[in-house]
Structure 1
């Protein structure tokens, strides 16, 4: 694969510097890219203990929350898709099936007291990717990938809440959880993304209509700015009249792929313009000092990224790359950023005892920043393997070779309230993929220095 001739001088300098430190990565060599992704994947899986005594199948140990386990399985589906390496396939299948819950909708009893719509959404999106990318199907007597994605979608469609703010999904599912009054963008974005992709995969207009409905709500309630910046969320106790203007990479990414898919379905100039506008607005997430290198603008510069936020770049990289398969007009612009970010990420993977542990701040070229964790590994792996997007086939549908079995009625039974918790839910109990409610409300009502306007 050749890099675009429009790569910047800074990007070219990065490519030339890769052999100096960190993981060796030659973006002109598929074998080199696959080897680098393999090294990072191995480093990520060292944090997983669900296959050993004392671990829980499908779940990362603390301090990682349940949602990030689903996100990790999604990243390993991508890993198989890009590299063809089946090393982790059995772990992926086992993990995704073990956590489905008794109603096969990713509402397992060990999580429902603290589970948010965004948490469930990340597991559903992993199942959606498995269906689209033809990840090996589960045994016939087990839940199937498409049906699991449909179950998550259906269970969330039932939760659409017109009682405040004219609709949308709440962050938390049950009333007793802190954050129930917060309608956050990632929960609604996951639903929009899944609706669009289910519409494409199945050809069912109902999903497309739901995607349109969600887009309109997000726009009307002000979670998306006129310049297509996506904000963190809004408080329904004030009828969503104010928004938390913090921007995260994953919110932009989840809407980018959803919008690109809607363009692919409709071929509408409206969705074409929206897709370009979302992509252009992602410029806030690329360093002003190291050209085209991704960073988490709300927390990286001041070292305040929490456990969740350290994984967010993985999803922007994932969904930017995937967008090029359904909206090819994005390809050149996306790949300039993916290639430069991958080169920088490889350089940052130069720490730890093995000399290949990945840090967080890719803009610190070749100097490991001392950070380490699942999020750091996942982000580096996703952006590195995403450089192979032009060499793999696009997502399948029911009409183009898809083999995953669906169930349109999955997840329509409604939620079973697990009952009030026996004690106060603490910060450690929370499974939310976003920032905690107390911090959110400070951002809405008092402003936050790390806000991005």
Structure 2
């Protein structure tokens, strides 16, 4: 007769282990089916929940729309764009209230995404990335601001008008500077992300409104980028160039979000010119195809030999900074959008996004919930990191799989309801921040005198208080 005592002891041991695991509150990651819309939405819900846990702007005493340190203001704009996308793809309205509140608040008193708490430190790319999220809100018919406030479309038009006024022909035959004001580091740098974002919103405004003036600006920005060599012969997108050398030499670093913002804008221009029977549609198709081909630079192979998105400039060395940890989110987002603006690209783009999403979600094994996501998707193992960039990247990669099952971006003639104002951002006080003269020795001397006076007054005040 077989004794049941060893079996009983084994059963009790296994039960104790299972109970300990279940009571620890730690999950074992996220499982999902690549071919099930409901499964993808469920996984996206988990990733979005963990993403929003980083947000503190709805806490008492905090500022709506701000992310805590170490995240800069521009990434907060991209953060809420990811939540607009999440709602558009899944239909889940859980985060709509905080998203709408944040975007309206950070649009500022002039609704141009130059709020007083950021104005003197933000760059053209910072302002424009918030505008890109507002453009998504217009295109997706996200909940509009109140009737007494400018609409999402008007906010983007304000940013466009201000940035068009900043187009600077004093050096490099044109282009936007990275920074708006002379006192910010990077003012002498003309880069792909600032000009690419401007190109992107110009193309989308052309498509949404049907106003060809925006398309002409998009073409102008594209031509300048290509002439300066920021677009390489194989449509590599390089980072930027200093205007102190009249843009004669390039920083050839290639970042995924630079490639993505041009790829997306080109897909919009293809869509716009095709729908209007414009003879340039074949030109934009060729440009889009070449950008898609060049984007292969950002897809590595994981242990199974499948293409997975990565950030080659920093990821393999393990030195990506806080900003760079978020770049893959935007390439995922914009490649998925491109399949909607140019459906013929679906069979080329989507296989890469599928393998990327599968690998990215397998990284979601960290944090207190056991579902926070890491960054090195192509490594095959969880890298142990968590953060806004990592979380947003996985969310965008995952919800990109839903692009084919959602309605494409709207226009004002296909159901878009956002209020516009083509004159927004054109009043004198709004355009006065356009182009500043380079800093001179006299400027520096005057700044030193002002600083000395201010310090003296502060010391005097302290002395009086102590006395």
Provide TM-score, normalisation by structure 1. 0.87
In structure 2, the gaps of 5 or more residues are 1-26, 275-280, 437-446, 453-467
Shift of 1:104: 1.3
* Structure 2 counterpart of 1:164: 171
* 1:49 match: 56
Residue 97, structure 1, aligned to residue 111, structure 2: no
1:2-401 equivalence runs, <5 A: 22-267=29-274, 268-289=281-302, 290-365=305-380, 367-401=381-415
Aligned alpha-carbon RMSD (Å): 1.7
Q: Secondary structure at the match of 1:244?
A: coil
Which has the bigger relative contact order, CA under 8 A and spacing at least 6?
A: 1
Structure 1 residues 376 and 423: alpha-carbon distance in aligned structure 2, compared to 1, 3 A threshold: farther
1:132-174 Cα shifts (integer Å, max 9, x gaps):
0111111101221100111111110000000000000000000
Task: Between 136-145 and 250-259, report the one with greater CA deviation.
Answer: 136-145
Structure 1 gap segments, 5+ residues each? 1-19, 425-453
Distance 2:301 2:360 in 1: 16
- Superposition deviation, residue 31 in structure 1: 1.1
Distance 1:423 1:277 in 2: 51
Q: What number of residue pairs does the alignment pair up? A: 404
Per the alignment, in what secondary structure is the counterpart of residue 379 of structure 2?
A: coil
If the length of structure 2 is used for normalisation, what is the TM-score?
0.84
Q: Distance in 2 between matches of 1:417 and 1:196?
A: 24
CA distance in 1, matches of 2:220, 2:131: 20
**Structure 1 position 196, deviation (Å):** 0.5
User: How big is the shift at 1:22?
Assistant: 2.7
Q: Which has the larger radius of gyration?
A: 2
**Equivalent position SS for 1:254:** helix
Q: Is the 8 A contact 1:307 1:375 kept in 2?
A: yes
Match of 2:417 among 388, 394, 403: 403
Aligned to 2:457: none
- Mean Cα displacement is larger for which, 133-142 or 194-203? 133-142
Maintained 8 Å contact 1:317/1:382: yes
Q: Offset at 1:306?
A: 0.3
